[in-house]
């Protein structure tokens, strides 16, 4: 790889200087923050709620656990995790985007979800000591990270021995007959929906492109192993539209 290649990264289908990605992604999520929850429901026909419930079920949380929710957006996974903790333990909700984190905090407080810590942080440079958490969860956020390998290493670093990372992310369909329909929806319907609902087609075009550029199931599993996580595996959901990856620290 040339130095030029190593200093650039994907932004959807574009190649941009790596130093610009955080701000470019931040602009996308600042643009969509106000309609983020509505668009999630419309884009997935409500399936994202099922995927998140399944992820928290796989987390095997219990009262007393310390849990870190990264790229937490408006807090869906945090809210579900808090139910499992039952008022005992530690719940940290973190995002790099202040607009998303603020919206998530306001939403959870309005819903009566109290006792959550809110931390503005970059997944690649987590502001937590080693071995701080029993579970680290990231839902639909890893594909927006500039240096995924470094982010995965940071997730492992803050895990306690015996804990594990869960990565919920869009993935690669294993039912090839659905691909043309999925592509039509992603690149034609989704941007139009974004324009009508959120007044922003380009941000949703980026989101569709970022899904296609994200590593497939086997590649991400190997990346997690390369970051030092062990017994890495994954579970496909909805035909591989999304997958939940898991990796342990022993």
Q: What Rg, from alpha-carbon coordinates, does the chain have?
A: 17
Residue 70 near residue 136 (C-beta atoms within 8 A) = yes
User: Using the 8-state DSSP alphabet, how is residue 186 labeled?
Assistant: I
Residue 166 near residue 136 (C-beta atoms within 8 A) = yes
Can you tell me the distance from the alpha carbon of 246 to that of 84, in angstroms, rounded to the nearest whole number? 19
Residue 24 near residue 33 (C-beta atoms within 8 A) = no
Determine the 3-state secondary structure of 167 from DSSP.
strand
What DSSP assignment string belongs to 29-74?
A: HHHHGGGHHHHHHHHHTTHHHHHHHHHHHHHT--TT-EEEEES-TT
Residue 194 near residue 203 (C-beta atoms within 8 A) = yes
Residue 123 labelled as part of a binding site: yes
Longest dimension (CA), the chain: 52
Residue 74 labelled as part of a binding site: yes
Residue 95 labelled as part of a binding site: yes
Instruction: Give the strands of the sheet with 242-248, arranged side by side.
Output: 116-120, 90-95, 66-70, 133-139, 159-170, 242-248, 230-237
Give the residue numbers of the binding site for S-adenosyl-L-methionine: 74, 95, 122-123
Give the residue numbers of the binding site: 74, 95, 122-123
């Amino acid at each position: 790889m040339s130095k030029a290649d190593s200093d650039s990264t994907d932004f959807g289908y574009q190649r941009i200087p790596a130093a610009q990605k955080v701000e470019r992604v931040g602009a996308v999520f600042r643009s969509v923050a106000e309609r983020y929850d509505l668009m999630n429901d419309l884009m997935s026909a409500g399936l994202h709620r099922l995927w998140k419930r399944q992820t928290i079920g796989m987390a095997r949380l219990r009262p007393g656990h310390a849990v870190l929710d990264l790229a937490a957006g408006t807090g869906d996974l945090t809210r579900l995790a808090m139910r499992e903790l039952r008022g005992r333990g530690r719940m940290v909700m973190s995002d790099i985007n202040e607009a998303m984190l603020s919206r998530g905090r306001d939403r959870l407080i309005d819903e009566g979800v109290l006792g959550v810590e809110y931390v503005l942080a970059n997944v690649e440079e987590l502001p937590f000591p080693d071995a701080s958490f029993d579970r680290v969860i990231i839902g639909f956020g890893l594909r927006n990270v500039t240096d995924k390998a470094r982010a995965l290493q940071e997730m492992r670093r803050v895990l306690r021995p015996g804990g594990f990372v869960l990565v919920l992310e869009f993935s690669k369909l294993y039912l090839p007959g659905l691909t043309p329909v999925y592509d039509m929806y992603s690149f034609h319907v989704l941007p139009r929906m974004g324009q009508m609902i959120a007044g922003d087609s380009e941000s949703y075009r980026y989101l569709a492109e970022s899904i296609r550029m994200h590593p497939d199931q086997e590649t991400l599993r190997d990346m997690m192993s390369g970051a030092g996580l062990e017994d890495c595996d994954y579970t496909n959901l909805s035909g591989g539209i999304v997958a939940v990856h898991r990796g342990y620290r022993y």
